[in-house]
Amino acid sequence: MWSWVAHRVTGVLIFFFLFVHVLDTSLVRVSPEAYDEVVATYKTPLVALLEYGLVAAILFHALNGLRVIAVDFWSKGTRYQKQMLWAVVGVWVVLMIGALYPVLGHAARELFGS
Amino acid sequence: MSNNTVKTDTTASGIGPVEEAGASPYSADNPAPVIEPPRKRTKKTGRATRGNFELYAWLFMRLSGVVLVVLVIGHLLVQLVLDGGVQKVGFAFVAGRWASPFWQVWDLLMLWLAMLHGTIGLRTIINDYAERANTRVWLKGLLYTATVFTILLGTLVIFTFDPNIR
């Protein structure tokens, strides 16, 4: 039940981000300066943290979505749905640890010096 | 009771004279009254179903979901992880990527699939939580307007991108 709630919440968050993301990317049709100015805010430590949250939401939604597909289409899907949820959480934790340095490394260097 | 009613003899066998004789009290000149079957669809009941939209929407969520896993995680790797992460992103980086039809098609496909996937998802959520019919109509109207606007804007930007805008 909680995986279902989390799937909805992450889905809505990703959709709203997507809407804003298409708008900010559209600035490439305005001018290079306008685009680079907005992207510069994406490189600040605070937004880097939000980006890490976005990656967390996307990875959970992707992994749990594959689990939903397995439950729907795999004949043994419902029997192993709980084990698959633990697999989702496990892979998610590993990927999130892996994303720590690439996504937050530059923010840490800026905040605490290199 | 019509005048076609046949008086039933109370015989010991329990079989009335009609069944026994095998003769019908009705004929071509004297047809049996028509009884309309229950739940028969008439002109007043409207169309039988609204088509298979819900089935196709359900299937689309799963098919587009699988494709999006590849497209979006690839996008995250390119934008946030590889080659200096988010720090390298800028107008020049976008221009370099969209010089290749491969990335144009990648981004276009990702835009369309993600927007439709998200719109169908939000439609389900609106249907689930907005209890008043009026609220549902307005929220979904807003949702579809935002979807059409975003898909058209994004498509236009990808196709009309000009690296020499300045």
Whether B5 shows a pLDDT value over 60: the answer reads no
pLDDT of residue B1: 44
pLDDT for A7 equals: 95
- Spatial separation of the C-alpha atoms in residues A43 and B16, rounded to whole Å: 93
Helices (H) and strands (E) in chain B, counts: 5, 0
Which amino acid is located at B87 in the chain? Answer: Q
What's the confidence (pLDDT) of residue A21? 94
As for the ipTM of the complex, it is 0.89
pLDDT of the residue at A113: 77
Write down the CATH number for the domain with range B53-160.
Answer: 1.20.1300.10
pLDDT in tens, B20-33: 556 678 888 888 88
pLDDT of res. B132:
92
Residue B108's CB is within 10 A of a number of other CB atoms, namely: 16
Identify which of B85, B118, B161 has the shortest CB distance to residue A102: B85
**Mean pLDDT for chain B overall:** 84
More confident residue, A9 or A111: A9
Which DSSP string do the residues of A22-47 spell out, in sequence order? HHHHGGGGT-HHHHHHHHHHHTSHHH
Substitution target from B91, B106, B152 for chain A, most A beta carbons within 10 A: B91
Taking the Cβ of residue B89 and every Cβ of chain A, the question of whether any pair is shorter than 8 Å is answered with yes
CA of A12: which chain B residue's CA is closest?
Answer: B122
Domains of chain A, residue spans: 2-112
**Residue B81 DSSP label:** I
**Per-residue pLDDT for A80 more than 50?**
yes
- CATH code given to domain A2-112: 1.20.1300.10
Parse chain B into domains and list their residue ranges.
53-160
Asked whether the beta carbons of residue A69 and residue B65 sit closer than 8 angstroms, the reply is yes
